[in-house]
Chain A
Amino acid sequence: MKPRNIILLLILAVILITIGVLVATTIDVSAILPIQASESAIYIDQLFRTMLGIAVVIFLIVEGGLIYAVFRFRRKRGETGDGAPIHGNTLLEVIWTLIPAIIVIVISIYSYQILTEIERPGVKPLVIEVIGKQFAWEFRYPDEEVTTTSLHLPIDREINLQITSEDVIHSFWVPEFRIKRDATPGQISELILRPTEAGTYRILCAELCGPGHAAMVTEVVIESKEEFDDWIEKQSNLAELPSSSPEGRRALFITQACGSCHTLDDANAVGIVGPSLNEIGAIAETRVPGLDAQNYITQSILQPNAYIVEGYTSNLMPNNYGERLTAEELQALVEYLLEQK
């Protein structure tokens, strides 16, 4: 090859590598990435940017070459002749076999390092059981014997989630944490993480699990150790509150996990599988002509399929609250809901 061409190629190579390094280290990818709320997010974003840098270079080379060829080698009008009878070039073919091979091996090794880093088991992690079911998440804190419908985590603590399912395969995913793990019935899958950014984030289901798959959303709250301890203590006291008191009625709503499917600001419930209950006290009497609010709400709890709200699906709400609730509990719940206006 002519010395001039070699120099041009070298300059091109330097430019491309510079672009790659710039992309990997400085480009702002926050437009397509949620905030980093866990340690694993930091590592995975780093991995992504590195791979992106390499990808951009490869794309520029191949697509650039293609576009260049399209313009440079287009046939001239009326030309019917052939191009040169070149069948290959051994050196070139060896290079474009070896370099990609080296690149993927390097990416594999780097990925392995990242993987080891994010899955390093903690020294004394906080163990929480995560149970997926159609279509809600349940979280059990074994030490405090508390079961909740939203996940609270103390910041900067090592967490070990023991994830399983009661029915079909679901998948526990918090985009701000990046990593996900399937919730498979009959087995417990472990997910290790360390939350680093306080805030409230969505927990999504990432494995098709039935009609309510898209609605299987709840939240994870990352808070300070004090706030977390406070919250846990409140949860464990909920069951002891008498159901006749206002706090007790709200507690009943929470412990019966109604919030896993319904939104109710008063109870910090964010469920979207079923309709919001924020105004149910006012709406109830208008829903069915001739049916007053109290009876509407009572029947809707005991026979969920009786009056489906438009835009929501039947056969999703459990229909056995008649057995699960005592008469006093049912009445307390209904009274609580009647207050929501």
Chain B
Amino acid sequence: MSTESVELKQENNWKRYFTWNTDHKVIGVQYLVTAFAFFLIGGALAMLIRTELLQPGIDFMDGTIYNRVITNHGSIMIFLWIIPVLAGFANYMLPLMIGARDMAFPNLNALSFWLIPVGGLFVLLSFFIGAAETGWTAYVPLSIQAPDGQTIWAIGVILLGFSSIFGAINFVTTTFTMRTEGMGFLELPLFVWSMLATSLLILVATPVLTAGLILIAMDRVFGTIFFTVQAGGDPILWQNVFWFYSHPAVYIMILPGMGIISEVLPVFSRKPIFGYIAIALSSMAISVLGLTVWAHHMFTSGMSPALRVPFMITSMIIAVPTGIKIFSWLGTIWGGKLRFTPSMLFSLGFISMFLIGGITGVFQASVPFDLYVHDTYFIVGHLHFVLFGGSVFSVFSGFYYWFPKVTGREMNERLGKIQFALMFIGANLTYLPMFASGMLGMPRRVVDYAPELASLNLLTTIGAYILGTSVIVFFHNAATSWLRGPKATSNPWRALTLEWMTTSPPPIHNFEELPVVTSGPYEYGETPGASDTRQTLEVTGD
């Protein structure tokens, strides 16, 4: 049997996605599909929350069920949607982008994926066994007293942590040891740089959360008294251990997304990235600085008053490398020839929304202001601007960008623009009022609120329904395009990074012959007015 026909058989066989497969492209798709499934579940929980909060008063969820819903909404969106979906993109694209045939440790890679549905099962199961109901932050002593589901939830999160750590080991080793000839570190695509910065954080911070969750599990199951106050246990210890991971976690959730933006903008501006080294280094800076800011989540905890100040300073300073990226992205599109594909629209939307998220983050870094807005809807608004307007928008940008490469088909551009419009309007309508409701007196994690806050909550809920609609549009587009979309060429966007120098989808060994790199990844405009004649020239109209 010839190699080609074996490959064809393999490529057309959907069953391999349900097996232990070591091909990074299969694993990437497994990650992506699983993560999107959890996005739907987490999103459904969000719709439940916003429906309950449509009007003041208890409508259909009492305090207990509501607490379970918000806990799982947060846990699923963080551990089962954003972190894995970005890992999924990295898994698929990183080896291609550096001209490698796979990841350094293919079996470890498969393990990393399979830990996701297993961990996810634990998290979902906890819902039905007297669930985790303490918020994803699981503050003690409340989480020690919570019902059995809390332990199951903790085990699930520990398993998901292992998945993340093993993935990081793979990303770093692959990047260091498997770059093709000519690809030095200064020729790395910025998405790869962002994965390096992300992996550093995963390796340093995630194990600390593991340790903390073990402390909680030991207290709940084995009778230790780490957090028994009467015996000298300290609830603040948990907060420190938890946030030491969970603050870097937010950078784990945004850095790969920023990497995607850096890939998409040059392609659809037909211009090199502005400030390549600054962007690469700013990713590393955010990573390192990100390990020094965690106590800004604890300003109201009664922590040592003097210690709040250095954390305020580090939290403020981290705005600088972040700002460098935003300005560099502006510099990239400035003077370009902008083409507004859905991918590009989501990247531009990312910049706009992340700008608001980032600015409000600086507000929160200020201790006295945080004493006011901590644990209110101001924070909820901020976090959704950066996580939805930021991370989720970057996921959709990457999805529309890389869909042809992964599936060999094209997404429907018109539906994509409709999705973008609905999502952009929906997100702003949902999250902007939250700054006001927070400042007017709405705490976080409340099933009910004061009547004066009714109109703001109404706006938010309407926005949420629009968001939900946009997600339906997306899934319709993705499903029909995957099944029946027009065939895509190897390089429909005329991009210059290595993943586009092979077929769509790539063969099992990625490249017929490994490419040799002789310049950087964003060398557009070398001859003004012309473009590369070597690449597949299929100029799709718009």
A–B direct touch in complex (beta carbons closer than 8 A): yes
Q: For the complex, what is the distance from the CA of A173 to the CA of B327, rounded to whole Å? A: 38
Q: For the complex, what is the distance from the CA of A82 to the CA of B495, rounded to whole Å? A: 11
Q: For the complex, what is the distance from the CA of A65 to the CA of B351, rounded to whole Å? A: 11
Q: For the complex, what is the distance from the CA of A62 to the CA of B309, rounded to whole Å? A: 29
Q: For the complex, what is the distance from the CA of A139 to the CA of B58, rounded to whole Å? A: 28
* Contact (A63, B372) CB under 8 Å given A81-B529, A92-B331, A168-B141: no
Complex interface bits, A20-48 against B, C-beta within 8 A gives 1, otherwise 0? 00000000000111100000100110011
Q: Does A204 contact B (CB under 8 A)?
A: yes
> In the complex, are the beta carbons of B274 and A66 less than 8 A apart?
no
List, in ascending order, chain B residues with CB within 8 A of A87's CB. Answer: 272-276
> In the complex, are the beta carbons of B300 and A178 less than 8 A apart?
no
Q: Which residue of B lies closest to A134 (CB)?
A: B142
> In the complex, are the beta carbons of B369 and A44 less than 8 A apart?
yes
List, in ascending order, chain A residues with CB within 8 A of B537's CB. Answer: 80
Q: Does A107 contact B (CB under 8 A)?
A: yes
> In the complex, are the beta carbons of A206 and B443 less than 8 A apart?
yes
Q: Does B449 contact A (CB under 8 A)?
A: yes
> In the complex, are the beta carbons of B443 and A205 less than 8 A apart?
yes
Q: Which of these, B63, B273, B312, B375, contacts A207 with CB under 8 Å?
A: B375
Q: Does B418 contact A (CB under 8 A)?
A: no
Q: Which residue of A lies closest to B324 (CB)?
A: A97
Q: Which of these, A73, A101, A105, A185, contacts B338 with CB under 8 Å?
A: A73
Q: For the complex, what is the distance from the CA of A70 to the CA of B329, rounded to whole Å? A: 13
Complex interface bits, A194-206 against B, C-beta within 8 A gives 1, otherwise 0? 0000000010111
Q: For the complex, what is the distance from the CA of A43 to the CA of B527, rounded to whole Å? A: 57
* Contact (A74, B368) CB under 8 Å given A86-B274, A210-B142: no
Complex interface bits, A105-126 against B, C-beta within 8 A gives 1, otherwise 0? 1011001101100110000000
> In the complex, are the beta carbons of B320 and A66 less than 8 A apart?
no
Q: For the complex, what is the distance from the CA of A88 to the CA of B271, rounded to whole Å? A: 11
List, in ascending order, chain B residues with CB within 8 A of A63's CB. Answer: 352, 355
List, in ascending order, chain B residues with CB within 8 A of A86's CB. Answer: 271-272, 274, 331, 335, 525
Q: Does B336 contact A (CB under 8 A)?
A: yes
Tell me how far the C-beta of B55 lies from the nearest C-beta in chain A, rounded to whole angstroms: 13
Question: Size of chain A's interface in residues, with CB distance under 8 A?
Answer: 87
Tell me how far the C-beta of B525 lies from the nearest C-beta in chain A, rounded to whole angstroms: 4
Q: Does B417 contact A (CB under 8 A)?
A: no
List, in ascending order, chain A residues with CB within 8 A of B233's CB. Answer: 186
Q: Does B447 contact A (CB under 8 A)?
A: yes
List, in ascending order, chain A residues with CB within 8 A of B336's CB. Answer: 69, 73, 83
Q: Using a CB-CB cutoff of 8 Å, which residues 48-76 of chain A contact chain B?
A: 48, 51, 55, 58-59, 62-63, 65-66, 69-70, 73-76
Q: Using a CB-CB cutoff of 8 Å, which residues 163-210 of chain A contact chain B?
A: 163, 167-169, 171, 173, 175, 178-182, 184-190, 202, 204-210
* Contact (A59, B335) CB under 8 Å given A87-B276, A210-B67: no
Q: Does A212 contact B (CB under 8 A)?
A: yes
Complex interface bits, A231-272 against B, C-beta within 8 A gives 1, otherwise 0? 000000000000000000000000000000000000000000
* Contact (A104, B316) CB under 8 Å given A171-B300, A180-B300: yes
Q: Using a CB-CB cutoff of 8 Å, which residues 118-165 of chain A contact chain B?
A: 118-119, 163
Q: Which residue of A lies closest to B520 (CB)?
A: A87
List, in ascending order, chain A residues with CB within 8 A of B368's CB. Answer: 40, 43-44, 47, 111, 114-115, 118, 179
Tell me how far the C-beta of B66 lies from the nearest C-beta in chain A, rounded to whole angstroms: 8
> In the complex, are the beta carbons of B320 and A82 less than 8 A apart?
no
List, in ascending order, chain A residues with CB within 8 A of B271's CB. Answer: 82-86
Give 9 closest A-B pairs by Cβ, nearest first: A211-B63, A189-B302, A186-B229, A214-B446, A85-B525, A83-B271, A82-B525, A175-B441, A104-B316
Extra contacts besides A70-B338, A100-B319, A208-B135 (17): CB < 8 Å:
A40-B368, A43-B368, A69-B333, A81-B337, A82-B271, A93-B278, A96-B327, A101-B317, A108-B312, A168-B141, A179-B368, A206-B443, A208-B134, A211-B66, A211-B67, A214-B445, A214-B449
Residues on A close to B: CB < 8 A? 31-34, 40, 43-44, 47-48, 51, 55, 58-59, 62-63, 65-66, 69-70, 73-89, 92-93, 96-97, 100-101, 104-105, 107-108, 111-112, 114-115, 118-119, 163, 167-169, 171, 173, 175, 178-182, 184-190, 202, 204-215, 311-313
